[in-house]
Amino acid sequence: MDSLSFSGICRYRVSPSTRLGFDQSNHINDGFSLGNKASFDRKQDRQGLAITRVASPLKRAIVPSLEKETVPDQNHVAWTSVRQERWEGELVVQGEIPLWLKGTYLRNGPGIWHIEDYNFRHLFDGYATLVKLHFENGRLIAGHRQIESEAYKAARKNKKICFREFSEVPKHENFMAYVGDLAKLFSGASLTDNANTGVVKLGDGRVVCLTETQKGSLVIDPNSLETLGRFEYSDSLGGLIHSAHPIVTDSEFLTLLPDLLNPGYLVVRMEPGTNERKVIGRVNCRGGPAPGWVHSFPVTEHYVIVPEMPLRYSAQNLLKAQPTPLYKFKWHPESKAFLHVMCKASGKIVTSVEVPLFVTFHFINAYEEEDEDGRVTAIIADCCEHNADAAILDQLRLQNLRSFNGQDMLPDARVGRFTIPLDGSPFGKLESALDPDEHGRGMDMCSINPANLGKKYRYAYACGAQRPCHFPNTLTKLNFAKKKAKNWHDEGAVPSEPFFVARPGATEEDDGVVISLISEKNGSGYALLLDGSTFEEIARAKLPYGLPYGLHGCWVPKK
Ligand SMILES: CC(=O)/C=C/C=C(C)/C=C/C1=C(C)CCCC1(C)C
Ligand SMILES: CC(/C=C/C=O)=C\C=C\C=O
Ligand SMILES: [Fe+2]
C-alpha cells in the first residue's frame, strides 16, 4: 500500500508555559499553514515547536512533530488547542477497514481555545475545526483544517476576540464601545459565526457547518475542507438563533427558530436545492419568560416534538459582559417543562404535555407507539438527560476539563425516555430507558442508524462513563430492547461521538461500523472503527498528532 508511516514522527513537544498549566497558555502547533514556511518559522522560534515535513503520496503535507512525553492529565490533548490551517495525510491502518466503507466522515468541533495569550473559558467557545476521515478501498486519508469564519479571521487579524461567542464577549475599550456593541447585539452583528458545533450534508449535496447562531451556517468543501462561504437563508423569517441540530435527510431540513420576543418557536422546513425555510407552524411557550434552550429536538415519522426545557434563554444574561454560571441561560424550575407535538403536514399542535423537569443537549430519537390495531397511542422521545441538573454546562468549562485529578467529577446522566400520551392527558412521563449504571451514569453525544430516524429503534451509540472521571470517557452501545449497554474504554482516552455508518444493503439495524476519534492521555490520538453489531474493534489508525476533542459529525458517501 502506498502509505505514509507516521510512527516515529509523532514527537510532541509542549512549550514550557504549557507544562506549567493552562493559566498561561495552552496552545501548540500554533499558526502554520501548508506552504507558509515564513509564518511557521516565526512560531517555531516563539514556541519551540519542532515540525517535520513529510512527502505524502497525495500531496505535500506538513506534519507537526510533537515530541512524545508523558502529558499530565491537566494537559490532555483533548482540551489543547491544535491549529492546523491545513493538513492531509494517509494513515497506517491496524486491522481491516471494510471494503464497503466508501466515503468521508466529517467531524466538527472547537479546536482552538485561545487567541494570542488569552485563553477561552468554555469548551463551546473554541474556534471551529474540521477533521475528515476518508475511507476508500480499505485505506484511510485524514485531514484537518480550520473553518474560516468571520469570527476566526477577525480574531487572528486583530489579535483579540471580536464577536460574542458562547461565553466569551469582546473586551470593550470604553463605555461607548460597550453601548455600541449592545446595539449590534440586537441586529445580530456582534454575534459569532464560529460554526463549531456540527456539520450536515443537505439533500442537494451541500455540506454546511453549524452552530446556534443563524449566521454561523457556513458551507464547506467536504474534500478540501475549505470554507466556501456563508449559507444565506433567502427567506425573511429573521431571528438570530436556531437549533444547532437540524434534522437533515435527503428530502428535507427541519429546524426550530426560538422567538425570544414573543416566547415560542417557529418550526421550519427547507427543501433540498433551496435556501428558503418555510414555516410549518408555531408553538407558543407555556411557561417562563423566554423559550427553553433548543440545542436539539426529535421527530417521529409524522410529528415534530418541540421541547420547552426549564433551562431558558435569558436576555438579561445575554447582555452581560461577564459569563454567569449558566452563561446565556437561566434555570426556571417554576416555569415547568413541556413537550409540544406538532403535525409535520398541517403544523397543528396535536398535544402539549407537562413533563418532569429535565436538562438535555441531545435528543437521541423519537417514534410513534402503536396499539394492536395500529393506532398511534403515544410518542416516545429519548434524550441524553442530565438528571434535571444544569451543572453539566459549567462542568464543560475548560478549567474543569483541564483539572482532572482522579476524583469523580462528572454529574450523573441517563437515557431519559419521555412518553407523551396522545389521548389528551395533560402530563407526560420521564423515566430512564435503562439502568444508568449500565453506562457508568455518563450519557451524551449519541447517534443512531439514520434509517431508523423517527421510527421504533433498538440501538443507539453514545459516550458513557467509566468512573472515576470528569468527562464521558467510554463508547457505549445501548440496546433498548434488552436494557443493556456494551462499553468500550481505553484508559485515559477521551473518545468523541461514536458515529454509526450502515453497511449498504444491511437489513439489521446495527449492521455497520461506528467511527470515533480518540484523544489519548499521552498526547497522541487515533481513528477507531468498531463493529456496529459486536461493538468490537475492527480497525484503528494512529494520527500523526493528537486531536482536540470534537463534537458532531456527518457521513458523505462516495457516489
Ligand atoms: C458548541 C455548542 O454546542 C454550542 C454553541 C453555542 C453557541 C455558540 C451559542 C451562542 C449564543 C450566542 C452567541 C448569543 C445568543 C445565545 C446563544 C445562542 C446561546
Ligand atoms: C460534550 C457534551 C456533554 C457531555 C456531557 O456529559 C455536550 C456537547 C454539546 C454540544 O454539542
Ligand atoms: Fe450538540
**pLDDT range class, residue 19, cuts 50, 70, 90:** very low
The pLDDT of 6-18, averaged and rounded, is 26
CA 470 to chain centre: 18
**Domain assignment present for 64:** no
ipTM at complex level: 0.97
Query: Closest Cα to residue 312, out of 359, 356, 267?
Result: 359
CA of 109 to the centre of ligand 3 (A): 10
Nearest residue CA, atom 9 of ligand 2?
Answer: 361
Ligand 2 environment, Cβ below 6 A: 197, 361, 392, 413, 442, 444-445, 472, 551
Which ligand does the CA of 212 lie closest to?
1
Nearest residue CA, atom 16 of ligand 1?
Answer: 328
Q: Which residue out of 196, 212, 240 has the highest number of ligand 1 atoms within 8 Å of its CB and is therefore the one to mutate?
A: 212
CA 206 to chain centre: 19
CA of 170 to the centre of ligand 2 (A): 24
**Cell digits of residue 529:** 472503527
Number of domains in the chain: 1
The pLDDT of 329-355, averaged and rounded, is 98
Q: What does the mean pLDDT of the chain come to? A: 88
Nearest residue CA, atom 12 of ligand 1?
Answer: 166
Cα Rg of the chain (Å, integer): 23
**pLDDT range class, residue 24, cuts 50, 70, 90:** very low
**Domain assignment present for 27:** no
pLDDT of residue 37: 26
The pLDDT of 311-318, averaged and rounded, is 95
pLDDT in tens, 480-538: 999 999 999 999 999 999 999 999 999 999 999 999 999 999 999 999 999 999 999 99
Measured distance CA(365)–CA(452) in Å, rounded: 8
pLDDT of residue 470: 97
pLDDT at 12 over 90: no
**pLDDT range class, residue 186, cuts 50, 70, 90:** confident
What atom of ligand 2 comes closest to residue 124's alpha carbon? Answer: 10
Which ligand does the CA of 392 lie closest to?
2
The dihedrals phi and psi of 42, each to the nearest 5 degrees, come to: -60, -45
Which ligand does the CA of 296 lie closest to?
3
Which ligand does the CA of 315 lie closest to?
1
3-class DSSP state of 318: helix
The pLDDT of 363-369, averaged and rounded, is 99
CA of 361 to the centre of ligand 2 (A): 7
Which ligand does the CA of 293 lie closest to?
1
Residue ranges making up the domain that contains 505: 77-557
**Cell digits of residue 419:** 412518553
pLDDT of residue 184: 87
Measured distance CA(19)–CA(74) in Å, rounded: 9
CA of 92 to the centre of ligand 1 (A): 37
Per DSSP, what are the bridge partners of residue 27?
81
pLDDT of residue 66: 36
Measured distance CA(541)–CA(555) in Å, rounded: 18
CA 547 to chain centre: 15
Q: Per-residue DSSP letters for 499-549? A: EEEEPTT--STT-EEEEEEEE-TTS-EEEEEEETTT--EEEEEE-SSPPPP
Pairing of strands 227-230, 253-259: unpaired
Measured distance CA(476)–CA(542) in Å, rounded: 21
Sign of the four-CA dihedral 226, 522, 535, 409: negative
Nearest residue CA, atom 10 of ligand 1?
Answer: 166
Q: Which residue out of 130, 166, 259 has the highest number of ligand 1 atoms within 8 Å of its CB and is therefore the one to mutate?
A: 166
Residues 6+ apart with CB under 8 A from 66: 10, 11, 12, 13, 28, 29, 49, 50, 523, 524, 544, 545, 546
- What is the strand order of the sheet 103-112 is part of? 86-91, 139-146, 127-136, 103-112, 553-557
Pairing of strands 198-201, 139-146: unpaired
The pLDDT of 185-210, averaged and rounded, is 96
Residues 6+ apart with CB under 8 A from 46: none
- What is the strand order of the sheet 474-479 is part of? 444-447, 459-464, 474-479, 484-489
Q: Which residue out of 327, 384, 386, 396 has the highest number of ligand 2 atoms within 8 Å of its CB and is therefore the one to mutate?
A: 396
Contact 337, 355 (CB under 8 A): yes
CA of 15 to the centre of ligand 3 (A): 32
pLDDT of residue 85: 85
Nearest residue CA, atom 4 of ligand 2?
Answer: 444
Measured distance CA(333)–CA(492) in Å, rounded: 36
Between 92-106, 117-131, 167-181, the lowest mean confidence (pLDDT) is in 167-181
CA of 551 to the centre of ligand 3 (A): 7
**Domain assignment present for 23:** no
pLDDT at 18 over 50: no
pLDDT in tens, 457-467: 999 999 999 99
Of the chain, the percentage scoring pLDDT greater than 70 comes to 87
pLDDT of residue 74: 65
Contact 509, 456 (CB under 8 A): no
Contact 82, 546 (CB under 8 A): yes
**pLDDT range class, residue 75, cuts 50, 70, 90:** confident
CA of 95 to the centre of ligand 1 (A): 39
Ligand 1 environment, Cβ below 6 A: 124, 164-166, 191-192, 196-197, 211-213, 241, 244, 318, 328
**pLDDT range class, residue 73, cuts 50, 70, 90:** low
The dihedrals phi and psi of 190, each to the nearest 5 degrees, come to: -95, 0
CA of 509 to the centre of ligand 1 (A): 34
**Cell digits of residue 346:** 398541517
CA of 433 to the centre of ligand 1 (A): 29
The dihedrals phi and psi of 512, each to the nearest 5 degrees, come to: 170, -165
The dihedrals phi and psi of 254, each to the nearest 5 degrees, come to: -115, 135
H or E element in which residue 494 lies: strand 494-495
pLDDT of residue 10: 28
**pLDDT range class, residue 11, cuts 50, 70, 90:** very low
CA of 7 to the centre of ligand 3 (A): 33
pLDDT of residue 57: 30
**Cell digits of residue 179:** 453601548
Contact 402, 26 (CB under 8 A): yes
Q: Which residues are annotated as a binding site?
A: 245, 295, 362, 552
What atom of ligand 1 comes closest to residue 361's alpha carbon? Answer: 3
**Cell digits of residue 546:** 493528537
List Cα–Cα distances, 510 to 24, 239, 299, 477, 553, in angstroms. 46, 39, 21, 10, 18
List Cα–Cα distances, 173 to 7, 170, 176, 186, 521, in angstroms. 49, 10, 8, 20, 40
CA 527 to chain centre: 17
pLDDT in tens, 33-65: 332 222 222 232 222 222 222 223 333 333 443
The 8-class DSSP code of residue 469 comes to -
Q: Which residue out of 200, 361, 389, 497 has the highest number of ligand 2 atoms within 8 Å of its CB and is therefore the one to mutate?
A: 361
3-class DSSP state of 332: coil
Q: Which residue out of 125, 360, 362, 447 has the highest number of ligand 2 atoms within 8 Å of its CB and is therefore the one to mutate?
A: 362
**Domain assignment present for 34:** no
CA of 503 to the centre of ligand 2 (A): 27
Pairing of strands 27-28, 81-82: parallel
Measured distance CA(363)–CA(384) in Å, rounded: 6
**pLDDT range class, residue 132, cuts 50, 70, 90:** very high
Contact 548, 111 (CB under 8 A): yes
pLDDT at 215 over 50: yes
Choose between 21 and 176: higher pLDDT. Answer: 176
**Cell digits of residue 16:** 514550557
Contact 488, 535 (CB under 8 A): yes
Which ligand does the CA of 200 lie closest to?
3
pLDDT in tens, 408-445: 999 999 999 999 999 999 999 999 999 999 999 999 99
Q: Which residues are annotated as a binding site for Fe cation?
A: 245, 295, 362, 552
Amino acid of residue 388: A
**Domain assignment present for 14:** no
pLDDT at 68 over 50: no
3-class DSSP state of 182: helix
**Cell digits of residue 218:** 457556513
End-to-end distance of the chain based on CA atoms, in angstroms?
Answer: 23
